[in-house]
Amino acid sequence: MQSNSTNKQIKWDEMPDERGHFGPYGGIFVSETLMGALDELRLAYEKYLADDEFLAELDADLKHYVGRPSPVYHAQRLSEVLGGAQVWLKREDLNHTGAHKVNNTIGQALLARRMGKKRIIAETGAGQHGVATATVAARLGLECVVYMGEVDVARQEANVYRMKLLGAEVVPVSSGSKTLKDALNEAMRDWVTNVDDTFFIIGTVAGPHPYPAMVRDFQAIIGREARKQMQEQAGGLPDALVACVGGGSNAIGLFHPFLADESVAIYGVEAAGAGLDTGSHAAPLCAGRPGVLHGNRTYLMEDKNGQIIETHSVSAGLDYPGVGPEHSWLKDIGRANYVAVTDDEALQAFHDLTRIEGIIPALESSHALAYARKLAPTMSKEQNILVNLSGRGDKDMHTVASLEGIEL
Amino acid sequence: MSRIAERFAALKMEGRSALIPYIAAGDPQPQATMRLMHTLVKSGADIIELGIPFSDPMADGPVIQRAAERALEHDVSLHDVLDMVREFRNSDANTPVVLMGYLNPIEVMGYEAFAEAASKAGVDGVLTVDLPPEEGSEFLQALKANQLDPVFLIAPTSDASRIKRICDASSGYVYYVSLKGITGAGHLDIGSVKEKVEEIRALSDLPVGVGFGIKDAETAAKMAEIADAVVVGSAIVSRIEAEAASLDAVDRVVGEFVTELSSALQTRE
């Protein structure tokens, strides 16, 4: 399907450049105090990425602690109902802690230990990254502090309690819009203050270099596995990939190993919230413009004066005004298509998968499923769509129930 | 010679360090700012740092973050900030004004357009907290073409090669962040500041300002013994916050506090 012939010369594995640029995006935009720490992190990451012992340790953890490889599942009943392409699901929801987030937190926590850092901090929105971070911190015996916006603390009570059970300190953030972006600001402030002994585990492919590249590399296991699994189970590469995009870590993890495969169409699905035309959404790639926030240049939701505006999505994990810089670049060069689905469409897809396949998806992943529902009927029965089922929906029970007027 | 360089040259003759108070433009309301800038000057400010409000001030503590939120409640934009400087310049042709803020509002305006407008409004220097010199070549070009001094931060974590690179990119003065932390933090160690300022001096002839965590006249005076300029922000802004209901009261408490700071700097040996 779509592919830009001018992209043939791009060496996908050599992106970003040495200072973290994906075309005009990415880079390092932080206060001077953090420059040394980012350099230290980059050097450590480059060193251990080429260290067989470290990679063996990571692989062993992914296998025995996370439960990888995660299966690829052919959703036959759903495919029949949709009446077009075959829909396959990459089951990241079956990972330990229930989402793809742990692929990255394991990697960064092992790196933190190698670097001799005793204290871990993290930001979280829906709480999935916070839980995944608290989990690995518990396992490695590291001190863990998670910053979370007050609004998210209120709507994700169960995850807050999980983090506390795991021994993390959860710090509610009351500044700004009291959501993920403010939690990120607060975590940055902590890092500036405690930069000598603290490792900041960023949960998505955003932030200053090396985070977007490093988190992508830890998440790319999703796409590497899926590529092999599709060849074995479906007899070839999928015709299309679909993944939801908040910051975009599950999406880039799936997409990256397929970027050079021109026959594979790529769709990133943003949260259109109440609708792109209402302004009440979280779709910077579809409806924002480039700017600088949280250490990188990327597409943002901002007002005419460059102030970051509040976002809305039924899914807390997509409720973020920025996006990873590699996505911004893939959009501009036309290698990936970015689309958006509304809260209502995502909820419909949530119910469909639950009733048709017996799998309760996270509301984030439901956005990818909602787009697959639109895409499948436009394709033939011989074609294959691979959807990244990035997380399970247990955490969303309260949100979905309360939308239906049910009190749990 | 730029207004900032002239000011530092004059202070050198006098044998004293500069006092640089910081206020956030539009805090607690837009109409407070120009009056406050004149009050700062009357009370002994040598240079004014004027904050550009931003929704996500990552390097600032709660005090300055709330100041930005108060200004943004009144939709204070970068255009408005430049208007305030222009108005101030109508009645003060001498006091250098340095804008301090984050890159995104400037990106939206465009580097060239911003630099031209800022220069016309009477701005003298620009400090962008989240723009390291490595990412700043286009921005620096725009500033220099419009005779604006780029002021960069040096941190306790900056090594000699970074200090050199930052000083090479800066003009007017460089700003040493006196602690690992955010603005208004409370763990200042004067001994280590002294050491680092000496390291910077060995690498550059630029005047060195020191800020972050300087809360009172006594600390300001101690810093003035070490540095060419002392920046006080959160301690002023918290006084603005306490009196925000009355602009007269804001003006009075800020005037009193800045007078106290400047007398402490004047009387140094």
Q: What is the 3 state secondary structure string of chain A? A: CCCCHHHHHCCHHHCCCCCCEECCEEEEECCHHHHHHHHHHHHHHHHHHCCHHHHHHHHHHHHHHHCCCCCEEECHHHHHHHCCCEEEEEEHHHCHHHECHHHHHHHHHHHHHHCCCCEEEEEECCCHHHHHHHHHHHHHCCEEEEEEEHHHHHHCHHHHHHHHHCCCEEEEECCCCCCHHHHHHHHHHHHHHCCCCEEEECCCCCCCCCHHHHHHHHHCHHHHHHHHHHHHHCCCCCCEEEEECCCCHHHHHHHHHHCCCCCCEEEEEEEEECCHHHCCCECHHHHCEEEEECEEEEEECECCCCCECCCCCCCHHHCCCCCCHHHHHHHHHCCCEEEEEEHHHHHHHHHHHHHHHCCCECHHHHHHHHHHHHHHHHCCCCCEEEEEECEECHHHHHHHHHHCCCCC
pLDDT digits (tens, 9 = 90+) for B49-66: 999 999 999 999 999 999
Query: Which residues in chain B are contacts of A36 at CB distance < 8 A?
Result: 155, 157-159, 162
Eight-class DSSP state of B23: E
pLDDT for A21? 98
H or E element in which residue B145 lies: helix B137-145
Q: Which residues pair with A282 in a beta bridge?
A: A271
> Chain B interface, mutation test: which of A31, A39, A300, A304, most B Cβ atoms within 10 Å?
A31
Residues of chain B above pLDDT 70, percent: 99
pLDDT digits (tens, 9 = 90+) for A50-89: 999 999 999 999 999 999 999 999 999 999 999 999 999 9
Sequence-distant (6+) residues with CB within 8 A of B126 are B98, B99, B100, B115, B118, B143, B148, B149, B150, B151
Query: Which residues in chain A are contacts of B135 at CB distance < 8 A?
Result: 19, 27-29
pLDDT at A284 over 80: yes
Query: Which residues in chain B are contacts of A27 at CB distance < 8 A?
Result: 135
Closest Cβ opposite residue B132 in set A35, A192, A193: A35
pLDDT for A22? 98
Please report where in the chains the tokens 């208004």 appear, as a residue. B184
Name the pLDDT band for A6 (thresholds 50, 70, 90): low
Q: Report ipTM for this prediction.
A: 0.95
CA distance B180 to B178: 7
pLDDT at A384 over 80: yes
Q: How far is CA A155 from CA A100, A146, A187, A400, in A?
A: 21, 16, 20, 11
CA distance A309 to A330: 24
Query: Which residues in chain A are contacts of B169 at CB distance < 8 A?
Result: none
Nearest to B220 by CA among B151, B268, B148, B166: B268
Query: What's the mean pLDDT in B22-30?
Result: 98
Query: What's the mean pLDDT in B260-269?
Result: 81
pLDDT for B69? 96
Name the pLDDT band for B267 (thresholds 50, 70, 90): low
The burial class, CB within 10 Å (0-12 / 13-18 / 19+), for A171 is middle
pLDDT for A126? 81
pLDDT at A5 over 60: no
Query: DSSP 3-state assignment of B173?
Result: coil
**Whether B65 and A175 lie within 8 Å, measured CB to CB:** yes
pLDDT at B268 over 50: no
pLDDT at A8 over 80: no
- Residues of chain B with a CB closer than 8 angstroms to some CB in chain A: 53-59, 61-62, 65, 69, 72, 75, 77-79, 102-109, 129-132, 134-135, 152-159, 162, 166, 177, 180-182, 185
**Whether B132 and A32 lie within 8 Å, measured CB to CB:** yes
Query: What's the mean pLDDT in A104-114?
Result: 97
Per the CB < 8 A criterion, the answer to whether A321 and A311 are in contact is yes
Closest Cβ opposite residue B130 in set A29, A196, A309: A29
- Which sequence positions of A are flagged as catalytic? 101, 123, 390
Residues of chain A above pLDDT 90, percent: 90
Q: How far is CA B134 from CA A28, A51, A223, A276, B98, in A?
A: 8, 29, 33, 36, 21
Per the CB < 8 A criterion, the answer to whether B173 and B211 are in contact is no
The distance of A135 to chain B (nearest Cα, Å) reads: 27
Per the CB < 8 A criterion, the answer to whether A397 and A408 are in contact is yes
Q: Nearest chain B Cα to A195, which residue? A: B180
Query: Which residues in chain A are contacts of B153 at CB distance < 8 A?
Result: 31-33
Sheet arrangement for strand A198-201: A169-173, A143-149, A119-124, A198-201
- What are the backbone angles phi and psi of residue B209, rounded to the nearest 5°? -95, 150
Residue B40 identity (one-letter amino acid): L
**Whether A32 and B55 lie within 8 Å, measured CB to CB:** no
Closest Cβ opposite residue B54 in set A30, A31, A307: A307
pLDDT for B62? 92
- Of how many residues is chain B composed? 269
Q: What mean pLDDT value characterizes chain B? A: 96
CA distance A268 to A266: 7
Name the pLDDT band for B186 (thresholds 50, 70, 90): confident
pLDDT digits (tens, 9 = 90+) for B119-178: 999 999 999 999 999 999 999 999 999 999 999 999 999 999 999 999 999 999 999 999
Nearest to A72 by CA among A217, A204, A237, A214: A237
- Which sequence positions of B are flagged as catalytic? 49, 60
Q: Nearest chain A Cα to B175, which residue? A: A32
Structural domains present in chain B: 3-266 (3.20.20.70)
Name the pLDDT band for B269 (thresholds 50, 70, 90): very low
Residue A335 identity (one-letter amino acid): R
> Chain B interface, mutation test: which of A22, A296, A305, A311, most B Cβ atoms within 10 Å?
A305
pLDDT digits (tens, 9 = 90+) for B206-259: 999 999 999 999 999 999 999 999 999 999 999 999 999 999 999 999 999 999
pLDDT for A356? 98
H or E element in which residue B177 lies: strand B174-177
pLDDT for B177? 96
Name the pLDDT band for A1 (thresholds 50, 70, 90): very low
Tokens of A347: 């909820």
For chain B, the farthest-separated pair of C-alpha atoms sits apart, in whole angstroms, at 48
Q: How far is CA B131 from CA A15, A294, B51, B128, in A?
A: 22, 11, 15, 6
